[in-house]
A and B are shown apart, each in its own frame.
Chain A
Amino acid sequence: MKTSFQSPQQFFRQRRLRLSVVLIILIGIYVTSMALVNFQTWTSIAKIPAGLIWLFHNFIPTERSISYLGPILYQLWRTLLVSISSTIVASLFALIFAILGAKTTTPSPVFRIVIRFGASLLRNIPVVAWAMILLFSFKQSDFTGFLALFFMTLGYLTRAFTETIEDLDAEKLQALQAVGANYFQCVFCGVLPEAASTLTSWVLYMIENNLRDATLVGLLTGTGVGFLFDYYFKSFRYDAAGLIVLLIAILVILLELTSTQIRRAIA
C-alpha cells in the first residue's frame, strides 16, 4: 500500500501531537487517582520540611550511638552472610532450572512450561509474604530469613538466567553440534562460557538486592540487623536506629562498588 508522501513538517507535527496526547493522559491518571485516595498534593508538599526537620533531629547518630556500634556491626555481618549464602545457593538451583527451561537448551517443552510457571510463582510472592508464611513453619530464626530470600531469589534468577541463555547466539551452539558435541558438552563448553559473565553480574546484583531485603525480612523473623532496627526503634532509641540505616547504606554502597569492580574484571 502506497500513500501520498508525507512532508517532514507533517511528520514532526503528528509526532508532537501524539506526545502531547500521551502527556495529557498521564496527568489525567494522576489527578484522578489522587482525587480517589483524597490525597491533597499541595498540603502534603507543605508538610515535607517539618517532617524532614523532625527526622534529622531524631535520627542523626550522636556520640551516644557509638556504644551501639558493636552489636550493630555483628548483626550486620550476620545479615550480609545470610544474603550472600541464600543468593549463592539459589543461583546454583536457578542455573539448573534455567538450562532445563530455556528455549535453546530445554530437553522438552514440558520442562519449559513447568519451570516458567514455578519461577513466576516464586517471584511474584513478595519476600515479606514469604517471610511471614515461613515464620509459622520455621519459627524466628536465621534459617527462616534464609529460606524467604532463597525462594524469592530462586524465582527471580531462574527468570533472569533463562533469558540470558535464550539471548545467546543459537548459531554458536549449532556450531558445537556440528562438531559432534552432545547435549551436555554443548551446555558445558558453549552455553556456560558464553553466559558466564552475564550470569555473574546477575548474582552480584541479587546479593546487593538481598542485603536490602534481608533487613526487611529480619524485621519480621526477628533476626539480623532488621530485628535490631526494630528493637531500637520501638524503644525510642532513634539515633541508634539511624546509625543502622546509615551503616546499611554504607555497606550497600561498598557492595555495589565491589561488584562493579568484579564485573569489570570478568567482562
Chain B
Amino acid sequence: MQDSISFFTGFGVNDLWFLGEAALKTLWISVLSISIGTLLGTFFGWVLHEGKLAATLTIAPVLDVFRSVPLIIQLVLFYNFAPIIGLNFDPFVSGVVILTFYTAALVANVARGGIEAVPPSMRRASRSLGMSYWQDLFHVVLPIGGRAVFPAWIGVVLGVMKDSALVSVLGYVELLKASQVLITRTQEPLLILAIAGAFYFALSYPISRYAHKFEQRWSK
C-alpha cells in the first residue's frame, strides 16, 4: 500500500516527443500563415505602390493598425469577436487568420520597398523592349526587387514564427504551451524551458544563417 501519492512525475523520453510534436505544430501554424500572409502582403504592397492616394487613404491605415496593436491583443480581440458575428473558429483557425493578416501587414511594407527598389529606368527599359506590364512585373521587378528585400522578408518570417508562440493564449497547444503543460506536471521549469528554447533556436537559427549565406552570395 502506497502511503503517499505523488502528483508530479519526472521528465521522461515521452515528454521529449510531446515537445517535438508541439514544435511541429508551431512550424505548421507558422508555415501556413507565413505563406498565405506573404502572398496577401505582396499583393497589398503592389496595391500600395500602384494605388497612390486611394490606397494610402484606404488599406494603408488598416495595415497600420495590425502593426501598431500588440499581436496578443489582436488574437484575444478576434477570438472573442468572431462568435459575435456568428463565426465559431477554434483556436488554431483564429490564430492562423490573425497571424496571416499580421504577416500581410508586415510584408506589404517590405513588398512596397522591393518594388520601389527597382529603378524606374529599368522598368521603362523592359517596357520599351516590348514586355507587357505583367511580364515586367514578374520577370524584372520580382527578381530584382525580391533580392533587395529578401533580408527584410526573412526578418518578418522569423518574427512571425516567434510570435506564433502567442497563439498559446487562445489555448492552442504549440511549443510554448506544451512546455507550460509539462512544467505544471514535472515541476522542472528550468530544464523544460531550456529544451523548448533549444527547439525554437533550432527552428529559427538555421533559417537566419541560411538567409545570411544567400545574401552574401547575391551581394558578390
Binding partners A and B: no
